Amino acid sequence: MSVESRPGAGILFFGKPKVIPVIKFHQVHKAYKTEGRMIPALQPCDLEIPAGQIYGLIGHSGAGKSTLLRLINRLEEPSGGRIEVAGQEVTSLQAEGLRAFRRQVGMIFQHFNLLSSKTVAENVAMPLKLAGQMSSSAIADKVASLIKRVGLEEHANKYPAQLSGGQKQRVGIARALSTDPKILLCDEATSALDPQTTGQVLQLLAEINRDLGLTLVLITHEMDVIRRICDQVAVLDAGFIVEQGPVAEVFLHPQHPTTKRFVQEAEQIDEQELHADFAQVEGRILRLTFHGQTTYEPLLGRVAREAGVDFTILSGRIDRIREVPYGQLIVAFNGGELEQAMELLSASDVHLEVMR
Amino acid sequence: MEALLINVDWYEIGIATLETLLMLGGSLLFTVIFGLPLGVLLFLTGPKQLFQQKGFYAILSLITNILRSLPFIILLIVMIPVTVMITGTSLGVAGAIPPLVVGATPFFARLVETALREVDRGIIEATQAMGATTKQIIFNALLPEARPGIIAATTVTAITLVSYTAMAGVVGAGGLGDLAIRFGYQRFQTDVMVVTVLLLLVLVQILQSVGDRLVVHYSRK
Ligand SMILES: Nc1ncnc2c1ncn2[C@@H]1O[C@H](COP(=O)(O)OP(=O)(O)O)[C@@H](O)[C@H]1O
Ligand SMILES: [Mg+2]
C-alpha cells in the first residue's frame, strides 16, 4: 500500500492536522412542546466538528447544550435540519440502523447514570451484552482491559454505591468505550466532581482522545475545562451559537459578551478592580497576549530598552491552552517611543489591545 | 393449658392454615404474573414516559382504580360466574383464587408502576444511548433497577392478600380468617379467635421480614 492511499496520510504533510468533519449540522433546530406550545431550545445552527478533536460546548444553564449533544445520537429528534455523523445521515436512520449507529457513539453523563444493581464489571459489559455480538469470554476480556485502562482494577466487583464520584465517572467512561465508538459525548462529565478529581478525569479524557483518536464533544459551563483540554469551542447562549472557533482564538480574544463573561470568570478578572488599578498609573495601557513560544521570550525588557519606555505590570497570567503556553499581561507604558515599542511587540507576534 | 384452649381443634387449625397458605401462594403467584406486566404497561404509557399514550393510559388507569375501589367482599360475590368459568367451581380454595387475583392485581400493578417511576430517568437514557431495544431497556435496566421496589410491592401485596383471604370464607374457601369468624366470633370461642389471629400475625410477620430482608439484599445503594 502506498503512503498516499492510506487514510489520513495527508496529515503527515501539514503542520496542523487535516480537518475532516465527523459531525455536521445543517440548519438543525429543536423546539420542545411544553403545555401545548413549542418552545425553541436550539435555534437553526450549522456546525462542523472535526474528527479526532476535542470539541467544547459552553453556555449557561438552559442555553441548549444538552439538546445539541443529544441530537448527535438522536436521543432527541430534531425539529428540522440535517445531521450527519461519520458519513451517516442520522436523521433518516430507522430502528435497527439507529441502534447500530448509537453503538458507535459513546456517552457519559454528569450524574454517571450507572446501574446501581450491577457491579462495575457488569456495567462496563452492558453495551456489549446488549449488542449481542461477542461471546461472554471475549466480553470478559474486553471488560477487564477497559477497567484497567481507567485504573479501576481493584474495584471490578464493587457496586457503584461503593465508589467515589471520580471512580463512578471512570466506570462511565469505560462503559462508553466498550463498543469501540468513534465519538464520545460528554454531558457535564466533571460538573459533579471536586476540582482535583475534575483534573484527573479531564486528563483521562485527553489521553483517550490522543491514544484512540476518538472525537470528543464535551459540554461544560466552565471555561477552564475548555482551556485545559479542548481544541475548538462553540459558545451557546439562549439557543444560539454565538461564537465558535479554535480555543486559543476564542479564549484569548472573546467577541461576544457571554464569551467574555466566561473568560473573565475563568481568569478571575474583576473588571472594577482593574479600572481602580488604571487610575493609579500614567500613560498608555495595553493588553499583551502571547501565545506559543513567544510566551517564554524575554520580550518586555528588550522592547523597553530599545524603545526607551518604562512599564508597570497591572495584571497578568501565564498558563496553557491545552498544551500550548500563553500569557496575557496588562501593562502601562510610560515615556519613550510608544509607537516603536508597539511595533516591536507586534513584530514578535504579540497581540496588542489598547485599553486606555 | 388444655382448659384454656378447650375449643381449639388443632387438626382443624392445621387444615385452615394450609388453606390460607394455598390461597395466599396461588393468588400471589397469579397476581405477580398479571400485575407485573400491567404495572410496566402503566409505567411506559404514563405521562412523560417512553411510550406516552394519554388516552390509553387514562382508560387503563380508570379500570385499575375501579377495581381497587371495589370492596373485596363485593368483588368476591360479583365474580362468582366468572370464577365458575375459570375454575369450574365457585367454592373452596380454587373458587377464592380468581377474585383474590382480580382484587390484588390492580393494587400490585400500581405499586410496580410507582417502583418503576423511582428509577432514575438518566439510566433509561444511558441504556438508550447504548443502542438498546425497548425490550432490553425493560429487562436489562428498568426491572433490575426497580427490583428492591418490586419486592417491597410484592410484600405489601402478600400481606393485603392475607387479610383478603379472611373474607374468602364467604365462598367456603376456609382458612384461618374463616375459622376466626365462624368459631371465634359467631360462637364466642375466644380461644379459637386468639389462636387464629396469632397465627395470622405470625404469617404477616414472616412475610414482612422475609420481604424486608430481600429488599436489603437487592438494594445496592
Ligand atoms: N424534554 C424537554 N421538554 C421541554 N423542554 C425542555 C426539555 N429539555 C430541555 N428543555 C428546555 O430546553 C432548553 C435547553 O435545555 P438544555 O439543552 O437542557 O440546556 P443546557 O444543557 O444548556 O442546560 C431549556 O429551556 C430547557 O428547559
Ligand atoms: Mg444540560
Q: What is the mean pLDDT of residues A206-214?
A: 95
* φ/ψ (deg, to 5) at A34: -130, 125
Flag whether B89 is in a domain: yes
Q: Which pLDDT belongs to residue B166?
A: 84
List the beta strands (DSSP E) in A175-224. 183-187, 215-220
**pLDDT tier at A18, thresholds 50, 70, 90:** low
Q: Give the closest residue (by CA) to ligand 1 atom 18.
A: A66
Flag whether B85 is in a domain: yes
Residue A22 scores a pLDDT above 80: yes
Flag whether B106 is in a domain: yes
Nearest by CB to B120, from A100, A106, A113: name it: A113
Contacts of B119 in chain A (CB under 8 A): none
Mutate which of A66, A71, A220 for ligand 1? The one with the most ligand atoms within 8 Å of its CB, which is A66
A55 touches chain B (CB under 8 A): no
Taking the centre of ligand 1 as the mean of its atom positions, its distance from the CA of residue B117, in whole angstroms, is 21
Q: Which pLDDT belongs to residue B193?
A: 86
**How many pairs of residues across A and B have Cβ atoms under 8 Å apart?**
65
What percentage of residues in chain A have a pLDDT greater than 70?
A: 95
Q: Which pLDDT belongs to residue A287?
A: 93
Q: Which pLDDT belongs to residue A8?
A: 40
Mean pLDDT check: name the lowest of A68-77, A170-179, A258-267, B171-180.
Answer: B171-180
Number of structural domains, chain B? 1
Residues A75, B136: C-beta atoms closer than 8 Å: no
Strands A88-89 and A37-50: unpaired
Residues A109, B125: C-beta atoms closer than 8 Å: yes
CA dist list (Å): A324 to A232, A327, B22: 14, 10, 76
Q: What is the CATH number of domain A274-354?
A: 3.30.70.260
Tens of each residue's pLDDT in chain B, 221 residues:
556 777 888 898 999 999 999 999 999 999 999 999 999 999 999 998 989 999 999 999 999 999 989 998 899 888 989 988 998 888 888 889 999 999 999 999 999 999 999 999 999 999 999 999 999 999 999 999 999 999 999 999 999 999 899 888 777 788 888 888 888 778 888 888 889 889 999 999 999 999 999 999 999 87
Nearest by CB to A115, from B123, B131, B136: name it: B123
Give the domain range for residue B102: 10-218
Contact between A23 and A217 under an 8 Å Cβ cutoff? The reply is yes
- For A80-112, the pLDDT digits (tens) are 999 999 989 999 999 899 999 999 999 999 999
Contacts of B128 in chain A (CB under 8 A): 75, 102
Q: Which pLDDT belongs to residue A12?
A: 44
- The domain that contains B57 carries what CATH number? 1.10.3720.10
Q: Which pLDDT belongs to residue A118?
A: 97
A160 touches chain B (CB under 8 A): yes
Residues B130, A101: C-beta atoms closer than 8 Å: no
What ipTM did this prediction achieve? Answer: 0.88
Burial class (CB in 10 A: 0-12, 13-18, 19+), B14: exposed
* φ/ψ (deg, to 5) at A33: -90, 115
Q: Per-domain residue ranges for chain A?
A: 3-104+181-265, 274-354
Residue A1 scores a pLDDT above 50: no
A103 touches chain B (CB under 8 A): yes
Q: Which pLDDT belongs to residue A11?
A: 43
* Amino acid present at A180: D
Atom of ligand 1 nearest to the CA of A33: 4
Residues B130, A160: C-beta atoms closer than 8 Å: no
Contacts of B144 in chain A (CB under 8 A): 115, 117-118
Distance from CA of A159 to the nearest CA of B (A): 7
Architecture of domain A3-104+181-265: 3-Layer(aba) Sandwich (3.40)
- Alpha-carbon distance A12 to A9, whole Å? 6
Q: Which pLDDT belongs to residue A351?
A: 93
The residues, any chain, with a CB within 8 Å of residue A85's CB and separated by 6 or more, are A22, A23, A24, A72, A73, A101, A105, A183
- Name residue A315's beta-bridge partners: A330
Residues with CB under 6 A from ligand 1: A 32, 34, 41, 59, 61-67
Residue A24 scores a pLDDT above 90: yes
Q: Which pLDDT belongs to residue B1?
A: 52
Contact between B125 and A113 under an 8 Å Cβ cutoff? The reply is yes
Flag whether B5 is in a domain: no
Distance from CA of A271 to the nearest CA of B (A): 40
Computed over every residue of chain A, the mean pLDDT equals 91
Q: What is the mean pLDDT of residues A271-296?
A: 89
Contact between A83 and A47 under an 8 Å Cβ cutoff? The reply is no
The residues, any chain, with a CB within 8 Å of residue A223's CB and separated by 6 or more, are A58, A251, A262, A263, A265, A266
- For A116-140, the pLDDT digits (tens) are 999 999 999 999 999 999 999 999 9
**pLDDT tier at A17, thresholds 50, 70, 90:** low
